[in-house]
Structures are given as C-alpha cells and as structure tokens.
Structure 1
Amino acid sequence: MTVLGASATPKRRGFAAECRRQARLAAESDRGNGALMRFMDMAFDDLPDGDPSSAAAARAQPRG
C-alpha cells in the first residue's frame, strides 16, 4: 500500500485558479468594508493575549 503525502495529493483541474479567484474576492470585500475592518481590529485589541476566554476574564476583573 502506498501512502501519499499532502504534497502528492492530486488536485482538481482549476483548483489553483479557484483559490486565487476566492482570495481576490475576499481581499476586495475587505477593502470595501472599512467599518467592519475597524470593528474587527478593535475587537482583536480587546483580547489581552489573543485568547477570547482571557478577554472575558479581563472584563470580569474589578477596575479601580
């Protein structure tokens, strides 16, 4: 039995072109929605170390 590595996995014809097309569409969408990107940046900044659970814990801490 021969086991193929990930790099040896056959791809469907046009797979790479479809990946490029979808990446281009996602980039265009991101550029066209500045308000969403600002919101996502602010939400990410709320995460002390990039962990959503630690952000909730930080908000639960008393301030003052």
Structure 2
Amino acid sequence: MALLAIPSFLSAFSDSRPPRLAALLLVLAALLVYDAVRRAPEGYGIGDLPDAFLRVVAMIVN
C-alpha cells in the first residue's frame, strides 16, 4: 500500500490537490506493518512469505 501511495501523491501534487488518498494509503500501510510486528515480533523470513500469503488469502476467503 505504501508503494501505491507514491503515484497517488505525485498525481495529487501535479494537479494541485491535497494528497488525501496518498495519506490514507500511508496510514493503512503503517497500521499493517504495526499489526505484522505485533503478531510476529521475531519477524518473517523469506521462507515464511508463501505461508503468510496463503494464511491471508484463506482468512479473506473464509
């Protein structure tokens, strides 16, 4: 989400609009990072990523 905030910020800046969507995306990204650190304080390794991705997809589907 933080990566999606960059084009949103640039678009808002070039159109002289306030970057509301970019700010919202950055806040959501920060909340997601906080939640990930809170749930797994030891961190995630490269080998853990496929399992973490599948757990998220399973939570969404169920």
Q: TM-score range by the shorter chain?
A: 0.3 to 0.5
Which of the two has higher C-alpha Rg? Answer: 1
Q: TM-score, normalised by structure 1?
A: 0.35
- The one of the two structures with greater contact order (alpha-carbon pairs below 8 A, sep at least 6) is 2
